[in-house]
Structure 1
Amino acid sequence: MKVILLCGGLGTRLREETEYRPKPMVPIGGQPILWHIMKTYAHHGFTEFVLCLGYKGELIKDYFRNYLWNRSDVTLKLGRSRQIIYHNSHEEEDWTVTLLETGLNTMTGGRLLRAMQHIGDEDVLLTYGDGLTDADIGASVRFHEENKALVTITAVQPAGRFGELGIDGVTVRSIEEKPKTKFINGGYMVVDRRVRQLLDGDDCVLEREPLQQLARDGMINAYCHHGFWQCMDTFREFEMLNKMWDAGTAPWKVW
């Protein structure tokens, strides 16, 4: 099963970083957040990736084109018979990465449609290029296959930003620091190939009519994940994730 990653958005809420690079290339511990997401999928056995590029997609292309060069010790033989010798191996050697130009202004549904047309008639895994989790991807696929919905969404409960007061009249009876919110779409999805029939071009926003229609029809299931999940929408979240990685406490590092 191939993994489609939506990597083409502008990332305007993280302008401090995305002015210079696409959001999936914003680094955590020296590697792009995109690499962390792909490492999670690879840990669960999914190593075929289709990256839907848009904004500054050339930087993502450059990263993977030079991947071995940047991660290896290298010997260069100069002259007429030039040769490059790489001295290192790396865990990502079994990855297959397709870099697909899907347009600067294409919406999420349009990007998915272009990708599904490119990879053929099969179910896919789908996620965005800005969220990290320790969810069991393989378990979500098995759940999807057993329950036979058209889309399975990994549902998560992020911590709220503010404390919650339990108020009885005007009296505060309880204070809960950063309580869990309701379940939200964690962005890690299993998508049946038939969903492509609901995608009607580059202006299609996946999260609007296609998913809303499927929800009304009872064709979306939630795989509830109670562990770690965190998106990187703001500079504060960027700093938080880097601090976790640097301290050796990154919950998403399951590999």
Structure 2
Amino acid sequence: MKAVIFAGGFGSRLSEETTLRPKPMVEVGGRPIIWHIMKIYEHYGINEFVVLGGYKVDFIKNYFLNYHDQSSDFTIDLASGKIRWQYSRTENWSVTVLDTGLETMTAGRLKRARRVIGDERFLLTYGDGVSDVNIREAIAQHERSGNWVTLTAVSQPGRYGALGLTEDMTQVRAFREKAAGDGGLINGGFFVVEPQVFDLIDGDESVWEEEPMERVIERGKLGAYWHRGYWQSMDSVRDKMVLEKQWESGNAPWKLWD
């Protein structure tokens, strides 16, 4: 199963960092936040990734193109240029980086990647949030439900819009992305998705959190996996500082791997 990561936005609310690099490449603990997200998935046996780039996508491409060299020790014969690799600390990942357009919206990026994702179930998330969410349990609930999309519902007050859920907390009745905050549960951004959703996306101007989600709800096919643990997005310099402090403590809540 592939994990697809939105990584093409401008990240304007983190402009102190994103004038130089795309938001998913902003570092926490010396590693881009997208690396942390991928490590979370790897913990659950997911090691095939599709990165949906746009803004400064070359930064992302160069990071992964040079990943092996930067993560490995080597001996080089300067006269011949011959390199002997000594030790590699790289991950066993397959990473596809796609340029899905500078101005393309989230769902448009997803639709452009259809040929790479294929007609199979996939995982989907944003390139700016970490969590200790149990991906395995979310997939299992999704499989039992018959839904086309299962999102992760998390608790977060203030600036996010709450989800309207059924009484058993497993089905979404209303989706209000980043509306006037009134507390409650919100979209935590870790999705399990069936390929039927591709037919609900109009084109490049389609936003994942708008028409596609509303159309899934209209069909009664949007489920919710309630995650009661840790979740944190990186929308501002303050958020980045919170994540840095947690990582430096040696006990980052999202670090599920050894």
- TM-score normalised by length of structure 1: 0.89
Aligned partners of 1:215 and 1:18: how far apart in 2?
A: 34
Deviations 1:5-61 (A, max 9, x none): 010000000011011100000000000000000000000000000001100011111
Conservation of the 8 A alpha-carbon contact between 2:111 and 2:203? yes
Structure 2's unaligned 5+ residue stretches are 160-181
Q: Residue in 2 aligned with 1:45? A: 45
Q: Within 5 A, what are the aligned runs for 1:164-179? A: none
Query: For each residue in 1:192-248, what CA deviation from the matched residue of structure 2 results, as whole angstroms up to 9, or x when unmatched?
Result: 011100112111111111101212332100000000000000100000100100111
Amino acid at match of 1:158: Q
Aligned equivalent of 2:68? 68
Q: Distance in 2 between matches of 1:10 and 1:26?
A: 12
Q: In 2, distance between residues paired with 1:56 and 1:100?
A: 12
Displacement of 1:79 after TM fit? Answer: 3.2
Letter in 1 for 2:209: E
The residue that corresponds to 1:134 in the other structure is 132
Structure 1 unaligned residues grouped into runs of 5+: 162-179
Shift of 1:89: 2.6
Q: 2:251 aligns with which of 227, 236, 249?
A: 249
Contact map agreement 2:132 2:253 (CA 8 A) in 1: yes
Asked whether the 8 Å contact 1:4–1:115 carries over to 2, the reply is no
Partner of 2:88: helix, strand, or coil?
A: coil
Question: RMSD between aligned alpha carbons?
Answer: 1.4
Matching of residues 125-164 of structure 1 within 5 Å: 125-158=123-156
Alignment correspondent of 2:192: 190
Query: Counterparts of 2:183 and 2:132 in 1: how far apart (Å)?
Result: 18
Identity %: 50
Alpha carbons 2:71, 2:90 under 8 Å: kept: no
Check if 1:24 corresponds to 2:24: yes
Q: 1:184 corresponds to which letter in structure 2?
A: I
Whole-Å Cα distance in 1 between the matches of residues 67 and 54 of structure 2? 20
Q: Which residue of 2 aligns with 1:89?
A: 88
Structure 1 runs, 4 residues or longer, greater than 4 Å off: none
**In 2, Cα distance between the equivalents of 1:189 and 1:4?**
10
The offset of 1:160, in angstroms, is 5.0
Q: Please give the TM-score of this superposition, normalised by the length of structure 2.
A: 0.88
Q: Please tell me the residue identity of whatever aligns with 2:88.
A: S
Counterpart CA distance in 2 for 1:83 and 1:136 is 45
Q: Could you list the per-position Cα deviations for residues 109-131 of structure 1 after superposition, in whole angstroms to 9, with x for gaps in the alignment?
A: 01111112223211110000000
Deviations 1:79-120 (A, max 9, x none): 34x32222223251x210001110000000011111122232
Q: How many residues align?
A: 235
Matches within 5 A, 1:77-116: 77-80=77-80, 82-90=81-89, 92=91, 94-116=92-114
Look up the match of 2:34.
Answer: 34
